[in-house]
Chain A
Amino acid sequence: MEAKDYKKGQPRWCPGCGDHFFLASLHKAMAELGIAPKDIAVISGIGCSSRLPHYMATYGMNTIHGRAAAIATGCKIANPNLAVWQISGDGDGLAIGGNHFIHANRRNININMILLNNRIYGLTKGQYSPTSPRGFVSKSSPYGTVEDPFRPAELCFGARGHFFARAVATDAPGTVEILKAAYNHKGSAVCEILQNCVIFNNGTHDSVYSKEGRAKNAIYLRHGEKMIFGENNEFGIAQDGFGLKIVSSDDPSVLVHDAHCADNTLQLKLAEMEAPFPIALGVIRDVEAPTYDDCIISQIEEVKEQKKYHNFAELLETNDIWTVE
């Protein structure tokens, strides 16, 4: 399989939009995973990024605002053989669709939940979103917002999510890597993609949007590897009481990343790092747990063994029946 086998149509996003970069990475990741397009369902809600299924040569749906996670849930349960990718923006996924986001994570449905986070409503032309920082000035908040944003990782962890990864849209290798990890993780897998909106929120992820920026301001976390960052790998992350601190990379206290640790305390600390700490990229949490779709199937199999009725005619016979001669 090649990336072109997953491509369809001509994207209509603005030139320079982060969605273009992400789409190319998704095509690439699917090709590298080698899943046949017939076995993939890409399901989105509404918003700029939710146009994405139209550019996929797979099965898919571009549905209604906020409901992608719920629709993807039914799709996966009804046909567990499908690789289900749910695509939402920050408004679609965390505002109108916030309830479905947390419950999909809580249930641990085996779907990949992509959150394209540009911290703005683009399609409706520039209102603040639930990930816009406090004080954010937009068309619907000309004097600045007076509310705090969601931090997607915190919401995912609070909902007992077992997988969280982050990449920057312009970083193709980093994006492909977490998409593949999300697919290989059994259970709901949240991938936050930091992406720019060139029209309404230009520069929102500037510190990490370029390769040079990421070298300075980001850290790539890999399970089992030391947490080292900086242009010359000169820094490391170490524990500081209940918090974190930046140390020299040769300090023996530099932490080794454990994405598989069931306790998410440290993973949350890492996911929420912001300047002067580096932004954490890569797979931050990846913990195995029973999935809803597997469990519902095995429960059906168990009950089939236990119960003596297996079709409608036999079901009728389980009732109190009388005969009128």
Chain B
Amino acid sequence: MEPLEITEKNDVVVRFSGDSGDGMQLVGNIFSTVSATVGNSISTFPDFPADIRAPQGSLTGVSGFQVHIGSEQVFTPGDLCDVLVAMNAAALKTQYRYAKSGATIIIDTNAFSPADLKKAEFQTDDYLGEMNINPDHVVACPLTQMVKDCLADSGMDPKSILKCRNMFALGLVCWLFDRDLDIAYNYIKDKFAKKPDIADANIKVIQAGYNYGHNTHSSAVGVHRIETKNKVPGRYMDITGNKATAYGLIAAAEKAGLKLYLGSYPITPATDILHELSKHKSLGVTTVQCEDEIAGCSSALGASFAGALAVTSTSGPGICLKSEAINLAVIMELPLVVIDVQRGGPATGLPTKSEQTDLLQVLFGRNGESPLPVIAATSPTDCFDAAYQACKIALEHMTPVVLLTDGYIANGSGALKLPQLDQYPTINPPYVPEQLKETWTPYMRTNNGTRYWAIPGREGFEHILGGLEKDCNTGAISTNPENHDLMTRLRKQKIENIDVPDLEVIGDKDDADLLIVGFGGTYGHLRAVLEELRNQGQKVAQAHFKYISPLPKNTADVMKRYKKVVVAEQNMGQLASYLRMKIDGFVPYQYNLVNGQPFVVSELAKSFSNMINDN
């Protein structure tokens, strides 16, 4: 056997794909964790079908998990992969489009029987030829057979044995990237702590996959090592955007000293927030799975009135239903955090795919003049900070706040440096001071225009709120024209008074030919294209919106500083039109894509180059 040749690489993208029952998300997660544990930067993207279990082996049932690992910071899960694992014919058929030319393709030859090929709609048995795949780049291994052989003496039934196929692929990929198997073993032992037999079988199969790679290392592949540079020391965990959102809410409730209440209704892709918070009763978290979206929001508003940190979580269709109750929170001036994990629309749209198409809905989709703060998280790990800030603003400014995330960052994961709560800003709601007891009325305001909060149970502050306009002095129902105009302005001013951080410009701040602008979950892709274009010698800068309402105070200044600005977003131009509305004479280029998939960095780079060269 030849000695192993190990090549160093800066970054690599691996895509695991198979039937939705093949456990691709699990091995993807394990591989990410193994890589992150050695200090690599990671960014992941699970891409699963809308159906829970489409027919086995069918094209619609293919589930994918892509992970980008890098020696330095990676910003996206990568456009195309360097290694594609295809556990069956349908996976090869649908996922090969995500492979770079020359990528290593790992297939299970046992899953390419004539019946499998037919289900995957191949015309002949020369499936590689049909897809123009160079056989030299293919590791074709009889994976299923080897798993069966490996566990022949285990006493497991055939069905359980087949469930371990994914672990063989994991072992093989771990070999490919010279990964320490002990980390994977520990993961497996934890996951199957109550089923040691299953843990042992999985570990045996991982080892078998690793050995297979080691023993056969064909010409198609060699071992790659991703070293870690520019490490930021600290303790880390892998976290998805939805989990980070849940953690941000828990942290904010603890900091504010309030009970956390979530009223919700299951909806893809937001449900994991409900799942996560429901686990943590030992922290006093109360979650109520309501009868509908409306009740999710309404009950949260009731909880807010009663003095809790109240949250409701949903996706776009749920926002439609919650709008009336959100508006009630606007006029009653009660704190409420509304989480919108955006997905493809309109209507039911593309439930498992990602878009940024709810921006104008959350800004303006309510009757009357109804201003509220909108924050958009920029990455899976940023969901933690964004959720914390959303709670802080809601509680301190007595207003509903919408936190926008999206299916892409909600399901994607990144390495979160463990947050230290004592380093986070304090949260101080404007509780009405006891000494105001004699003079207080419900719409009396603090210096920054915020209504005081009088929580039921306090003697002397009994009051009635409601959806009807109130007199600004007495708090009684009022239809007085001057009063309504004044209250409308006070509610607007209150939101405008909220302090948000200035927009930060990175890249060629002083002399960029193009400023790249986006909001929320596209941060990583736009950051990656910034690096790409600068590597090509272009002068570019980036400004990314996390705070959308109110806008950062320097927004107009930044937008007007550059001769060309492109607003790139996964919708038909919602941020661009909002900015045009807010900034006189602002005419940006637009890059709009609504295909339910993450941006592709190379396509962005090409398009932005054209804008730079456009006279």
Give me the interface of A with B, judged by CB distance under 8 Å: 8-9, 36-39, 41-43, 46, 53-54, 56-64, 67, 70-79, 81-82, 99-100, 103, 296, 299-300, 303-304, 306-307, 309-313, 315-316, 319-325
Contact A324 B234 (CB under 8 A): yes
Contact assessment for A74 and B298 in the assembled complex, using a CB-CB cutoff below 8 Å:
yes
- Whether the pair A99, B303 counts as a contact (CB closer than 8 A) is no
- Identify which of B284, B286, B305, B332 contacts A41 (C-beta below 8 A): B305
B421 touches A312 (CB 8 A): yes
Q: Are A79 and B300 in contact (CB under 8 A)?
A: no
Could you tell me the distance between the alpha carbons of A75 and B237 in the complex, rounded to whole angstroms? Answer: 36
Residue pair A71, B236 in contact (C-beta under 8 Å) = no
Given contacts A64-B325, A81-B457, A315-B250, contact A321 B302 (CB under 8 A): no
Q: Is the CB of A43 within 8 A of B282?
A: no
Which of A58, A79, A299, A303 makes the CB contact (< 8 A) with B306? A79
Check: B52 CB closer than 8 A to any chain A CB: no
A-B contacts, 17 of them at CB < 8 A, read A9-B476, A38-B456, A70-B298, A71-B305, A73-B290, A77-B288, A77-B299, A78-B302, A79-B308, A82-B456, A103-B291, A103-B295, A304-B282, A312-B254, A323-B234, A324-B235, A325-B231
- Closest 8 pairs (CB-CB, A-B): A74-B302, A74-B299, A62-B466, A78-B303, A307-B282, A75-B302, A70-B298, A303-B281
With A and B bound together, what is the CA distance between A135 and B466 in angstroms?
Answer: 36
Q: How far is the CA of A309 from the CA of B280 in the complex (A)?
A: 9
Given contacts A70-B298, A313-B421, contact A59 B467 (CB under 8 A): no
Is B175 interfacial (CB-CB < 8 Å)? Answer: no
A72, B37: Cα distance in complex, Å: 47
Instruction: Report the separation of the CA atoms of residues A61 and B477 in the bound assembly, to the nearest whole angstrom.
Output: 12
B36: Cβ under 8 A from any A Cβ: yes
Residues of B within 8 A of A315 (CB): 247, 250, 280, 283
B230-246 to A contact mask, C-beta < 8 Å, 1/0:
01111111110000000
At the interface, yes or no: B190 with Cβ under 8 Å from chain A?
Answer: yes
Q: How far is the CB of A5 from chain B (nearest CB, A)?
A: 10
Nearest-Cβ distance from residue B281 to partner chain A, whole angstroms: 4
B302 neighbours in A (Cβ, 8 Å): 43, 61, 70-76, 78
Q: Which of B33, B291, B463 contacts A99 (CB 8 A)?
A: B291
* B581 interface residue per 8 A CB criterion: no
Q: Are A320 and B467 in contact (CB under 8 A)?
A: no
How far apart sit A82 and B461, CA to CA, in the bound complex (Å)?
15
Q: Which of A8, A39, A76, A299 contacts B457 (CB 8 A)?
A: A39
Contacting pair B295 A322 (CB below 8 A): no
Alpha-carbon distance between A76 and B465 when the two chains are bound, in angstroms: 17
Known: A67-B295, A77-B288, A300-B286. A59 touches B456 (CB 8 A): yes
A187 and B325 CA atoms in complex are apart in Å by 25
Q: How many A-B residue pairs have CB under 8 A?
A: 201
Q: Chain B: which residue is nearest A317 at the CB level?
A: B418
- B interface list, Cβ under 8 A from A: 33, 36-37, 39, 187, 190, 228, 231-239, 247, 250-251, 254, 259, 261, 263, 280-284, 286, 288, 290-292, 294-295, 298-308, 310, 324-325, 327-328, 332, 418-419, 421, 456-468, 476-477
Query: B37 to chain A: which residues have CB within 8 Å?
Result: 322
Nearest Cβ in chain A — how far from B240, in angstroms? 12
Chain B hits for A82, CB < 8 A: 306, 456-457
* Closest chain A residue, CB of each to CB of B291: A103
Residues of B within 8 A of A74 (CB): 261, 263, 288, 298-306, 310
- Inter-chain contacts of A73 with B (CB < 8 A): 288, 290, 295, 299, 302
Which residues of A have CB within 8 Å of B251? 312
**Are A62 and B288 closer than 8 Å at their CB atoms?**
no
User: Do B466 and A71 touch (CB < 8 A)?
Assistant: no
- Complex Cα distance, B288 from A300, in Å, reads 13
Bound CA span A299–B287, Å: 12
Give Cα A250–Cα B306 distance, bound, in whole angstroms: 53
Selected contact of B467 from candidates A8, A39, A64, A319, CB within 8 Å:
A64
For residue B223, give the distance in angstroms from its CB to the closest CB of chain A.
Answer: 22
Flag if B282 contacts A41 (CB, 8 Å). Answer: no
Please pick, from B39, B259, B418, the residue contacting A78 in the complex, using a CB distance under 8 A.
B259
B234 with A38: CB separation less than 8 A: no
Known contacts A74-B288, A309-B282; A38/B306 CB under 8 A: no
Contact partner, B305, options A8, A75, A324, Cβ 8 Å: A75
Most buried by B among A54, A78, A296: A78
Cβ-defined contact, A71 with B421, below 8 A: no
CB distance from A155 to the nearest CB of B (A): 14
Most buried by A among B284, B306, B327: B306
Q: Is the CB of B306 within 8 A of A75?
A: yes
Residues of A near B281 (CB, < 8 A) are 299-300, 303-304, 307
Select from chain B the residue with minimum beta-carbon distance to A311: B254
- CB of A310 within 8 A of CB of B282, answer yes
* Chain A residues within an 8 Å CB radius of B247: 312, 315-316
In the complex, A77→B456 CA distance in Å?
Answer: 13
Complex Cα gap A247–B317 (Å): 57
Max chain B Cβ within 10 angstroms of own Cβ: one of A41, A56, A71, A319: A71
The CA-CA distance from A320 to B468 in the complex, in Å, is: 50
Complex Cα spacing A319 to B464, Å: 44
Q: How far is the CB of A237 from chain B (nearest CB, A)?
A: 36
Least distance between B469 CB and chain A CB atoms (Å): 12
Contact B308 A38 (CB under 8 A): no
Task: Kindly identify which residue among A46, A62, A78, A100 contacts B295, using a CB–CB cutoff of 8 Å.
Answer: A100
Most buried by B among A63, A99, A309: A63
Contact residues in B for A303 (Cβ distance below 8 Å):
281-282
With both chains docked as a complex, state the minimum distance between the C-beta of B291 and any C-beta of chain A, in angstroms. Answer: 4
Closest to B34 in A: A322
User: Is the Cβ of B33 less than 8 Å from the Cβ of A320?
Assistant: yes
A315 to B238, CA, bound (A): 14
The CA-CA distance from A59 to B432 in the complex, in Å, is 15
**Contacting residues, chain B, for A296 (C-beta < 8 A):** 286, 288
Q: Is the Cβ of B236 less than 8 Å from the Cβ of A322? A: yes
Which residues on the A side are within 8 Å of B476 (C-beta)?
A: 9, 54
Decide if B466 touches A320 in the complex (CB within 8 Å): no
Closest to B420 in A: A313
Asked whether, in the complex, the Cβ of B250 is within 8 Å of the Cβ of A321, the reply is no
A37 to B299, CA, bound (A): 22
Q: For the complex, what is the distance from the CA of A306 to the CA of B468, rounded to whole Å?
A: 46
Query: A304: which B residues are within 8 A, CB to CB?
Result: 281-282, 284
Query: In the complex, what's the smallest C-beta–C-beta distance from B460 to chain A, in angstroms?
Result: 8
* A63 to B280 alpha-carbon distance, docked (Å): 31
User: Most B CB atoms within 10 A — which of A8, A46, A53, A303?
Assistant: A303
CB distance B283 to A311 under 8 Å?
yes
**Which B residues touch A75, using CB under 8 A?**
302-303, 305-306, 456
Cβ contacts under 8 Å, A56 to chain B: 464
Measured between beta carbons, the chain A residues less than 8 angstroms from B465 are: 60-62
Also in contact, A60 and B464, with CB within 8 A (given A99-B295, A311-B283, A312-B254): yes
For B477, the chain A residues whose CB sits under 8 A away are 54
Residue of A8, A67, A79, A321 near B307 (CB, 8 A) is A79
- Contact between chains at A61 and B332 (CB < 8 Å): yes
Closest to B239 in A: A319
Residues on the A chain within 8 Å of B300, using CB: 74
Contact of B187 among A59, A310, A320, A323 (CB under 8 A): A320
Given the contacts A75-B306, A311-B283, A324-B233, A46 and B467 also touching, CB distance less than 8 Å = yes
Instruction: Name the distance in Å between B8's Cβ and chain A's nearest Cβ.
Output: 19
The residue among A58, A299, A312 with the most chain B CB atoms within 10 A of its own CB is A312
